[in-house]
Structure 1
Amino acid sequence: MDISRELLSRLPERALMKWRALEQEREEVWVLGRDIAERFPRISQRLRQLEVQLADRRQNPQRASSTSAAELNVIERNFAAEQAHPLMMRTGRTASTTPRTSEAEIKALEDEVAALTEERQRIDERQQLYNAKRQSIGTLQASIGAWLSALPAAIMIDEHDAKPRDKLRDVTSDLIEQRRRRVRELHADIRRIDAAPYPSGVVKDQVRQRIETLAARGEPGFDAVIEYIDREIDWPMQTIRLLRERDVHIPDALGLVALLLKDQLIALAENRIDAIADDSQALTDAARGEQFKTLFADLLEAERNEEAAVSAATFQVIRRTDADPRAVLGLASSLPGPKRDGLVHARLALGGL
């Protein structure tokens, strides 16, 4: 992922080194994947030849053990034809007086086929791993680039000022998974807080204000009638905006109903709210904001722990593409975090804006 020099120039030295390390890691994985891609067809071709040769040995035990390349090509063509037409009689072959193919030779061919099959499977799995890792690094870099681009120009991008961590030793996949599990748990807690309802009292106040606003909107005007007795009552109107037509103005019937039945509507709303509200799980904006603040601080620390383990691993690790850029690059916690998609109350998620 290429980002502008202007953006890179805003990064502190250690963060810039980490960015370049990601680029080098991606390039190394690309080289490994390219080498694997070159080996795979050669192994597949050799395996196909051995399978044809083995099938011929089993069906023609009189054939001599040595087979020339030209004969092998003929065998392969005949084998392919027989696979397509199992009942077709093969012609042009005469019984040979050479010794029968030994069981040991067939066993050796079977062993070689099995070994090559296993090796091809290992190479295929390795290639998938390299491709996945390269793609994950590229996606992560794109995410970091988008985050950097969204930062206001006036913000200073500082390094994380915490005490440097001791480099982990003997990192295992279980350790990385354990730290990622903690990240997932915190994400789940954040979604739970985001989905928590509001207290019924707060909701009643909001609904009451909205009904009163609607009722005020439906108030008819009598000023013109007072001044000029022949004038019409100034009934409240509502404007409907159409895509390709002129705006349409119609009487605001809902506002008028709210004006006439305001008390009844408020009572109805409060009764329904009481029936469905669950104040045991409810949170005000203030409480929600405080919990968000704590959870996002814990999440960033958990992601820093995850990044420390990933960086210290001596084996291939597929990176998490939505990792916090501050954790990956070692940047200050005071910087705005990445955009948190899907949060209804994102404005309250102080650590995630």
Structure 2
Amino acid sequence: MRFAKQSKLDPADPRMGDKTVVLPPGAAAKLAMLRDRAAELHYISSGRGEDMHAARSALEHAKADLQKVTNPRLVGTIMGVTPEHLAVLEANVSELRGRLDRAETRSTEAREAAKEARLLISNIEKWMSRCSGLRVADHQGAEPKLRRGENGVEAVERCQRRIRELKADIHQVHSAPIHSNDAKVFASAYVEQLRAAGAPNLSLLIEGGVRRIEWPAQELVHTVAGPISNRNVPPEAAFAAWLQPDVLVAALHREIDECSDDDAALSAEDRAKKLTTLMADKLSTEREEEYWLQDLIRSGMNISRRIDADPRSVLGVSSDLPAPEDSF
């Protein structure tokens, strides 16, 4: 079952935009809701909201009323002003100034929330561009349960703590050095391709009868590390790889043995397995976080999502879709 029921949105609704055509109706409605909320926050943060306008107007009128009884040039024209009346006017100005201060605070908070909302939407749209041409299906999963004695806010905080822990674990796996055996396999393949790039061209001498040997002068050398410029590879390296590849490989292997930290290293296979497990755990936790966030928002709580939340969890779509590029 779906984590949260979402209203359907007409595909022609202008809030959906061209980028949401790949989304199922529930996810499209969710994205439209996020865009509406971002627009609302922007309006509030701009100082044009009704609360801000009303607070400014009321304060200006109250200050004008107070000035009428305190301005020396006007005091004589107003009869029957008592100390009690003056105190009421001053208290009214003070109260309205506090009301305006609170409205400005809400505006400042809304400005930050609007910025976060725009960043979240931008990240979702970038992710959607990676899904172009793919079938985007709804996520199917059981609804999470609160732990004993836990409320919704505490559930969100628990999920966010776990997400931070998983991010740290994922970073650690990404940062782990490669095993010396993997490094040696790479170095050997690299030298072999350098050897091919450094080989002279003897075709003119053998077949054309031209007494000339041509040495490679191409701008790029294609290796297992990708295309690299000759400016980053000394000509002597390609020449040495062609002339004595075994010697160069042995020298590189010795350097690898000296530099490697195999106790902390991960093989490519182990790294992939660990990342797959951690990323699945992180997405599952983010889905639970979104469920409780949705529940709190429906109850009227003003709460923001993380700007780096996984779009698959926010929109409630399948885990089989690509992860966002900066998912760790």
Report if aligned partners of 1:147, 1:338 keep a CA contact under 8 Å in 2.
yes
Q: Summarize deviations over 1:9-52 as a string: whole Å, max 9, x none.
A: x4334334433443554465567662233134325535765897
2:179 equivalent in structure 1: 199
Q: Which one-letter code corresponds to 1:307 in the other structure?
A: E
Report if aligned partners of 2:290, 2:313 keep a CA contact under 8 Å in 1.
yes
1:87 equivalent in structure 2: none
1:1-353 to structure 2, matched below 5 A, reads 2-4=15-17, 7-8=20-21, 10-26=22-38, 29=41, 34-42=49-57, 45=60, 111-153=91-133, 155-165=134-144, 171-172=152-153, 174-220=154-200, 231-232=211-212, 234-240=213-219, 252-260=235-243, 262-313=245-296, 314-340=300-326
What secondary structure does 2:23 align onto? coil
Report if aligned partners of 1:199, 1:277 keep a CA contact under 8 Å in 2.
yes
What secondary structure does 1:237 align onto? coil
What is the alpha-carbon distance in structure 2 between the residues aligned to residue 219 and residue 336 of structure 1? Answer: 42
Q: Which one-letter code corresponds to 1:327 in the other structure?
A: S
Deviates more, 1:42-51 or 1:303-312: 42-51
Report if aligned partners of 2:15, 2:32 keep a CA contact under 8 Å in 1.
no
Report if aligned partners of 1:200, 1:273 keep a CA contact under 8 Å in 2.
yes
Distance 1:228 1:15, change over 3 A: closer
TM-superposed deviation, 1:223: 6.5
Distance 1:156 1:275, change over 3 A: same
Q: Which one-letter code corresponds to 1:163 in the other structure?
A: A
TM-superposed deviation, 1:294: 0.9
**Identity of matched residues, %:** 26
Report if aligned partners of 2:16, 2:31 keep a CA contact under 8 Å in 1.
no
Q: Summarize deviations over 1:252-302 as a string: whole Å, max 9, x none.
A: 443223344544433432332222221122112211111111111111111
Distance 1:16 1:264, change over 3 A: closer
Q: Which one-letter code corresponds to 1:171 in the other structure?
A: G
Distance 1:271 1:110, change over 3 A: farther
What secondary structure does 1:159 align onto? coil
What is the alpha-carbon distance in structure 2 between the residues aligned to residue 253 and residue 11 of structure 1? Answer: 55
TM-superposed deviation, 1:199: 0.4
* Structure 2 gaps, min length 5: 1-13, 221-229
Q: Summarize deviations over 1:173-232 as a string: whole Å, max 9, x none.
A: x54333223223222222222222110121122113322432344344666656798823
Report if aligned partners of 2:144, 2:288 keep a CA contact under 8 Å in 1.
no
Report if aligned partners of 2:177, 2:266 keep a CA contact under 8 Å in 1.
yes
| Bigger Rg, which one | 1
Alignment size in residue pairs = 295
Distance 1:204 1:40, change over 3 A: farther
* Structure 1 gaps, min length 5: 69-97, 242-247, 344-353
Q: How well do the aligned residues superpose, as a CA RMSD in angstroms?
A: 4.1
TM-superposed deviation, 1:112: 4.6
